[in-house]
C-alpha cells in the first residue's frame, strides 16, 4: 500500500455524504476549486491505523453520472480522467439504505467505470427501524464489493469503514452490472479506438457528454460528433435503455437481498409532519413564524458576545494608546488596523448564528418543503421553487447562493434568480442595519415580547425579499427564452439536524468571512486611514499654522483646539475631498460627506461601512478617549447646522441605499463567472444603483 491514498466521495443528495465526510476528516478540511470551474472542491484529510494518509475529495451530490446541472459534470470528469488532479485511487459510494434502489443506480454506473469501489451503506439504523432487512453479505457477494453498514449520524461504523479502506486493494474486482456494449455497439468501439480507452462505459458516457467534457480537445470533439452521426446515435433513447437495464439488474439483486416487512416508520412520521408543514394555511404561517424566530434570536443571542468582542477591542486600543510610543505607526496600528479588525470580528456572532439556522433548515429537510410549497408562487414571478434556496441563502451571502443556482436547470429561471439574489439582505448588510437601527430605533418592547429593533430589522428583510420578487416579475417580462423548465425534486424524510455538521458549517462560514471579507476590510481600513490622515499639498500645514495664532489660543483650551484641528484636517484629507466631491449627489438622500466616504469605500464590500465609520470617527475628535463606534456616530453633528447627522430619516435612507445597491465586488465577480457574460453583472449593478438611489430619496424626503 502506498503512503497516500486519494478517495472520492460520491453519492446521491440527502444520503449523509457530508456527515461521513465530516466524520472521516473532522475539522481537517479545506475548500478549494476544481481548476477552471467554480464548483466548490471540499478536501479533507485523515489517517488510517497503518499510517496511510487519506486525501478525501467530496464530489457534488448527484443521482446519476448524467449531469442535470453544471455542478454534476465534474463528477464524471474527475472519475474518468486519469490526468485530473483529483482523480481518485478509490471511490467511496455513499448509499442510503432506506432508499437502496435509487441509490444503487449511481453505484452501477460508477462500478462500470472500472475504479476500485467501496459502498458505505448509510442510515442502517433507520432501515432497521423501518422494518427492512438487508442482507449485507449477500449484497457484497452479488456485487463483489465491500459493503460497510454505517449510521453516520450516530457515528456507527466509521472505524469499520476506515478498515475497509485500509484493506481495499488497488484493483477493481466488482462484478460488471450491465452489458454496456449492446447499448451502442459500433460507436463504443469507435470512440474507444479514437480516444484509446479501455473501458466501454467511459466511452459510452463520453458519447453522451462529449460537448461538456473539458479534457477533450476540439478535434476529438468534432471526431466524436462525426462518429455519432455515422452510427445514428440517439442520446436520450440510449440513456433510457441503459437506465431500464440498470434498474433490472438492481431489482434482481434487491429481490434476493432485501426484505421489506412494512412501510417505513420514518416516512409515516414525515407524512404526518408534512400534513401541517405544507398545509395550505399552516404551512405558510409556520414558515413566517420560523423566519420571525430566526431573526429575533439572531438579535437576542448575538448581543452579549458582540458586546464582549467590542469591549475587548476598546481595551486593546486604550492599552495601545497608553503604552505604545506616539507616532504615525501607532496611529496606523490602532486607528487603522485595530479599528478595522474590530469592525470585522464584532459580526462573527451574527454570521455564525445565521449560517447555523440555514444549515438546520437544510439539514432537517424543511428547505425542500419550502421549495415544494413555493414553486407555483415563484413560477408566477418568473422564478422556480428551486430559487427559494438561493434566495433564502442570500440572507447569509449572495456569493454561495448565486453559485447554488446551478441546481436550476432552466436558463431563464436561473438568470432571473441570479439577478435578484443580491437584493436579499445578506449578512454583510446586517452590521450596517444593526448599527443604524440601534442608533435611531428605541430599544423597546411592543406587546411585551416583540423587540422593536428586531421588528425594524425583520421589516428590512421582508422588504428585501419583496423587492427581489418584484424585480424578478419585471424581468420575467423582459428576458425571453424558449426552453421549458422542469422541476423534479426529492423530498427527503424529516431528520433531526446533525449538530456536529451545524457546528462545522458555522465554523467554516466564520472562517471564510474572516479570511475573505476580513482581508478586504482590513486592507480598505488601512487605505482609508491613510486617506483620512493625509491631504493634498500643504493644506495640513496651513491648518496647523491657522490654529497657532495667539488669538485662538486664548479663546479655546488646548483639547478644544486639538479637536478643531483634527476635524478640519479630516475635512481636508484625501478622503474628505473625495466624500465632498460626491456630496451634492447624495445630499438629497440625507447623507453628508462622511457617509459619502463610507459609500465610496464600501463599493468593494458592504461590511467596510462599519469599519469606515470606526476609522472616520476615531480619527475625528479626541483620539485618546475610546468610545465604541455607535456612541461616536450618535454624537456626530453636522458641522454647518449643528444638528445630529444620524436622524431617523437619514439612517433609514442609508439603510435603503445599502439594501438595494450592489456593493460587493465578490458578487459581481461570481455573477460574471456564472453567466460568462459581462453584460449581466453590469445590468445588475446599474439597476440596483438606480433602485437604491430612488428608494433612499423617497424615504428621506418622506421622513425628513
Partner 1 sequence: MKLSQLKKGAKGIIKEFTDLEMSVKLMEMGCLPGETIRVERIAPFGDPIAISVSGYQLSLRKREASTIELI
Cell digits of residue 381 = 414571478
Q: How far apart are CA 121 and CA 150, in angstroms?
A: 6
Taking the CB of residue 583, how many other CB atoms lie within 10 A of it?
A: 14
CA distances in angstroms from 456 to 86, 440, 446, 453, 694, listed in the order given: 48, 10, 12, 5, 20
184 binding partner 1? (CB under 8 A): no
Give, as one character, the DSSP assignment of residue 513: I
| Shorter beta-carbon distance to partner 1: residue 49 or 488 | 488
Which member of 30, 129, 237, 272 binds partner 1 (CB under 8 A)? 237
490 binding partner 1? (CB under 8 A): yes
Binding span for partner 1 by CB under 8 A among 99-107, 545-553, 602-610, 620-628: 99-107
Residues sharing a CB contact under 8 Å with residue 494, sequence separation 6 or more, in sequence order: 266, 269, 270, 273, 364, 365, 366
- Is-contact 28 46, C-beta < 8 A? yes
Q: Using CB under 8 A, which residues numbered 68 to 87 contact partner 1? A: 68
Which member of 18, 19, 64, 684 binds partner 1 (CB under 8 A)? 64
The residue among 664, 652, 644, 659 whose CA lies nearest residue 692 is 659
| Shorter beta-carbon distance to partner 1: residue 322 or 376 | 376
Q: How far apart are CA 479 and CA 382, in angstroms?
A: 10
Interface pattern 450-489 for partner 1 (x via CB under 8 A): ------------------------------------xxxx
| Adjacent-strand bridge partners of 451 | 445
698 binding partner 1? (CB under 8 A): no
| Residue found under cell 471511490 | 91
Q: How far is the CB of 29 from partner 1 (least distance, A)?
A: 29
Binding span for partner 1 by CB under 8 A among 373-381, 558-566, 622-630, 633-641: 373-381
- Is-contact 23 118, C-beta < 8 A? no
| Shorter beta-carbon distance to partner 1: residue 126 or 334 | 126
Binding span for partner 1 by CB under 8 A among 225-233, 369-377, 399-407, 642-650: 369-377
Q: How far is the CB of 99 from partner 1 (least distance, A)?
A: 5
| Adjacent-strand bridge partners of 258 | 134
How far is C-alpha 517 from the geometric centre of its chain's CA atoms? Answer: 13
Pairing of strands 29-33, 40-47: antiparallel
CA distances in angstroms from 589 to 433, 464, 595, 643, listed in the order given: 17, 19, 11, 16
| Shorter beta-carbon distance to partner 1: residue 488 or 643 | 488
| Shorter beta-carbon distance to partner 1: residue 370 or 416 | 370
244, burial (CB in 10 Å: exposed 0-12, middle 13-18, buried 19+)? exposed
266 binding partner 1? (CB under 8 A): no
Q: How far is the CB of 258 from partner 1 (least distance, A)?
A: 10
493 binding partner 1? (CB under 8 A): yes
Which member of 236, 261, 557, 641 binds partner 1 (CB under 8 A)? 236
| Shorter beta-carbon distance to partner 1: residue 285 or 698 | 285
Q: How far is the CB of 488 from partner 1 (least distance, A)?
A: 5
Cell digits of residue 539 = 493644506
| Shorter beta-carbon distance to partner 1: residue 323 or 486 | 486
Provide the sign of the torsion angle of the four alpha carbons 441, 347, 608, 317, taken in this order.
positive
Which member of 172, 243, 410, 516 binds partner 1 (CB under 8 A)? 243
| Shorter beta-carbon distance to partner 1: residue 231 or 287 | 287
Which member of 181, 267, 508, 583 binds partner 1 (CB under 8 A)? 267
Q: How far is the CB of 281 from partner 1 (least distance, A)?
A: 8
How far is C-alpha 361 from the geometric centre of its chain's CA atoms? Answer: 14
- Is-contact 405 391, C-beta < 8 A? no
Q: How far apart are CA 371 and CA 32, in angstroms?
A: 28
Cell digits of residue 525 = 481600513
The residue among 171, 191, 172 whose CA lies nearest residue 181 is 191
Cell digits of residue 301 = 443571542
Binding span for partner 1 by CB under 8 A among 375-383, 618-626, 644-652, 694-702: 375-383
The residue among 407, 455, 456, 399 whose CA lies nearest residue 424 is 399
Which member of 4, 30, 101, 444 binds partner 1 (CB under 8 A)? 101
CA distances in angstroms from 116 to 75, 80, 113, 137, 390, listed in the order given: 16, 13, 9, 18, 36
278 binding partner 1? (CB under 8 A): yes
Q: Using CB under 8 A, which residues numbered 377 to 416 contact partner 1? A: 377, 385
Q: How far is the CB of 234 from partner 1 (least distance, A)?
A: 9
The residue among 478, 491, 523 whose CA lies nearest residue 337 is 523
Binding span for partner 1 by CB under 8 A among 44-52, 98-106, 301-309, 547-555: 98-106
Binding span for partner 1 by CB under 8 A among 83-91, 215-223, 366-374, 602-610: 366-374
512 binding partner 1? (CB under 8 A): no
| Shorter beta-carbon distance to partner 1: residue 490 or 541 | 490
Q: How far is the CB of 508 from partner 1 (least distance, A)?
A: 29
285 binding partner 1? (CB under 8 A): no
Binding span for partner 1 by CB under 8 A among 138-146, 177-185, 266-274, 323-331: 266-274
Q: How far is the CB of 189 from partner 1 (least distance, A)?
A: 24
Binding span for partner 1 by CB under 8 A among 322-330, 340-348, 436-444, 491-499: 491-499
Task: Report DSSP letters for 279-319, one per residue.
Answer: -TTHHHHHHHHHHHHHHHHHHHHHHHHHHHHHHHHHHHHHH
271 binding partner 1? (CB under 8 A): yes
Q: Using CB under 8 A, which residues numbered 667 to 686 contact partner 1? A: none
- Is-contact 249 191, C-beta < 8 A? no
Q: How far is the CB of 288 from partner 1 (least distance, A)?
A: 13
Q: How far apart are CA 630 and CA 620, in angstroms?
A: 14
Which member of 82, 218, 280, 558 binds partner 1 (CB under 8 A)? 280
Cell digits of residue 538 = 500643504
Q: Which spans of this chain sit near partner 1 (rule: CB under 8 A)? A: 63-64, 66, 68, 98-102, 105, 236-237, 239-240, 243-244, 247, 264, 267, 270-271, 274, 278-280, 283-284, 368, 371-373, 375-377, 385, 486-493
Amino acid at each position: 500500500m502506498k503512503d497516500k491514498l486519494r478517495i472520492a466521495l460520491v453519492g446521491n443528495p440527502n444520503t449523509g455524504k457530508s456527515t461521513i465526510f465530516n466524520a472521516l476528516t473532522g475539522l481537517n478540511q479545506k475548500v478549494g476549486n476544481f481548476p477552471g470551474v467554480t464548483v466548490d472542491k471540499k478536501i479533507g484529510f485523515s489517517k488510517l491505523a497503518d499510517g496511510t494518509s487519506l486525501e478525501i475529495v467530496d464530489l457534488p451530490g448527484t443521482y446519476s453520472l448524467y449531469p442535470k446541472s453544471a455542478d454534476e459534470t465534474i463528477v464524471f470528469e474527475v472519475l474518468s480522467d486519469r490526468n485530473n488532479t483529483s482523480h481518485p485511487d478509490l471511490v467511496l459510494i455513499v448509499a442510503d439504505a432506506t432508499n437502496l434502489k435509487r441509490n444503487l443506480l449511481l453505484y452501477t454506473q460508477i462500478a462500470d467505470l472500472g475504479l476500485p469501489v467501496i459502498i458505505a451503506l448509510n442510515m442502517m439504523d433507520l432501515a432497521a427501524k423501518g422494518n427492512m432487512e438487508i442482507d449485507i453479505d449477500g449484497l457484497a457477494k452479488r456485487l463483489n464489493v465491500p459493503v460497510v453498514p454505517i449510521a453516520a449520524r450516530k457515528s456507527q461504523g466509521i472505524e469499520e469503514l476506515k478498515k475497509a479502506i485500509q484493506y481495499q486493494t488497488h484493483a477493481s474486482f466488482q462484478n460488471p452490472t450491465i452489458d454496456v456494449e449492446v447499448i451502442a455497439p459500433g460507436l463504443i468501439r469507435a470512440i474507444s479506438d479514437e480516444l484509446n480507452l479501455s473501458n466501454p462505459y467511459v466511452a459510452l458516457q463520453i458519447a453522451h457528454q462529449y460537448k461538456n467534457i473539458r479534457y477533450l480537445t476540439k478535434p476529438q470533439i468534432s471526431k466524436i460528433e462525426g462518429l455519432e452521426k455515422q452510427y445514428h446515435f440517439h442520446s436520450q433513447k440510449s440513456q433510457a435503455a441503459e437506465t431500464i437495464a440498470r434498474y433490472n439488474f438492481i431489482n434482481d439483486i434487491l429481490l434476493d437481498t432485501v426484505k421489506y416487512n412494512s412501510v417505513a416508520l420514518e416516512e409515516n412520521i414525515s407524512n404526518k409532519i408534512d400534513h401541517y408543514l405544507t398545509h395550505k394555511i399552516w404551512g405558510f404561517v409556520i414558515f413566517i413564524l420560523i423566519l420571525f424566530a430566526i431573526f429575533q434570536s439572531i438579535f437576542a443571542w448575538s448581543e452579549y458576545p458582540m458586546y464582549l468582542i467590542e469591549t475587548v477591542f476598546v481595551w486593546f486600543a486604550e492599552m495601545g494608546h497608553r503604552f505604545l510610543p506616539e507616532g504615525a505607526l501607532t496611529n496606523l496600528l490602532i486607528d487603522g488596523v485595530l479599528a478595522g479588525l474590530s469592525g470585522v470580528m464584532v459580526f462573527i456572532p451574527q454570521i455564525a448564528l445565521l449560517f447555523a439556522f440555514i444549515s438546520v433548515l437544510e439539514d432537517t429537510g424543511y428547505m425542500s418543503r419550502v421549495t415544494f410549497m413555493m414553486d407555483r408562487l415563484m413560477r408566477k414571478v418568473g422564478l422556480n421553487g428551486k430559487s427559494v434556496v438561493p434566495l433564502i441563502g442570500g440572507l447569509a451571502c449572495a456569493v454561495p447562493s448565486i453559485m447554488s443556482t446551478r441546481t436550476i436547470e432552466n436558463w431563464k429561471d436561473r438568470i432571473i434568480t441570479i439577478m435578484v439574489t443580491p437584493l436579499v439582505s445578506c449578512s454583510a448588510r446586517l452590521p450596517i442595519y444593526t448599527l443604524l437601527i440601534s442608533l435611531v430605533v428605541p430599544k423597546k418592547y411592543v406587546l411585551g415580547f416583540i423587540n422593536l429593533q428586531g421588528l425594524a430589522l425583520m421589516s428590512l428583510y421582508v422588504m428585501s425579499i419583496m423587492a427581489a420578487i418584484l424585480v424578478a416579475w419585471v424581468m420575467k417580462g423582459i428576458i425571453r427564452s424558449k426552453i421549458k423548465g422542469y422541476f423534479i425534486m426529492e423530498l427527503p424524510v424529516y431528520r433531526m439536524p446533525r449538530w456536529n455538521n451545524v457546528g462545522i458549517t458555522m465554523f467554516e462560514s466564520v472562517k471564510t468571512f474572516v479570511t475573505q471579507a476580513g482581508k478586504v476590510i482590513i486592507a480598505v481600513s488601512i487605505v482609508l486611514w491613510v486617506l483620512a490622515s493625509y491631504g493634498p499639498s500643504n493644506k495640513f500645514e496651513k491648518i496647523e499654522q491657522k490654529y497657532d495664532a495667539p488669538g485662538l489660543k486664548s479663546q479655546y483650551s488646548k483639547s478644544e483646539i486639538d479637536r478643531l484641528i483634527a476635524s478640519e484636517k479630516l475635512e481636508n484629507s484625501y478622503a474628505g475631498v473625495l466624500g465632498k466631491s460626491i456630496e451634492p449627489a447624495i445630499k438629497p438622500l440625507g447623507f453628508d460627506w462622511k457617509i459619502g466616504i463610507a459609500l465610496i469605500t464600501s463599493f468593494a464590500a458592504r461590511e467596510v461601512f462599519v469599519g469606515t465609520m470606526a476609522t472616520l470617527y476615531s480619527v475625528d475628535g479626541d483620539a485618546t478617549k475610546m468610545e465604541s463606534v455607535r456612541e461616536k456616530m450618535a454624537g456626530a453633528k453636522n458641522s454647518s447646522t449643528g444638528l445630529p447627522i444620524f436622524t431617523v430619516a437619514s439612517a433609514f435612507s442609508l439603510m435603503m441605499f445599502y439594501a438595494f445597491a450592489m456593493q460587493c465586488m465578490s458578487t459581481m465577480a461570481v455573477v460574471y463567472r456564472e453567466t460568462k457574460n459581462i453584460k449581466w453583472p453590469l445590468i445588475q449593478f446599474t439597476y440596483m444603483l438606480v433602485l437604491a438611489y430612488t428608494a433612499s430619496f423617497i424615504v428621506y424626503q418622506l421622513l425628513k
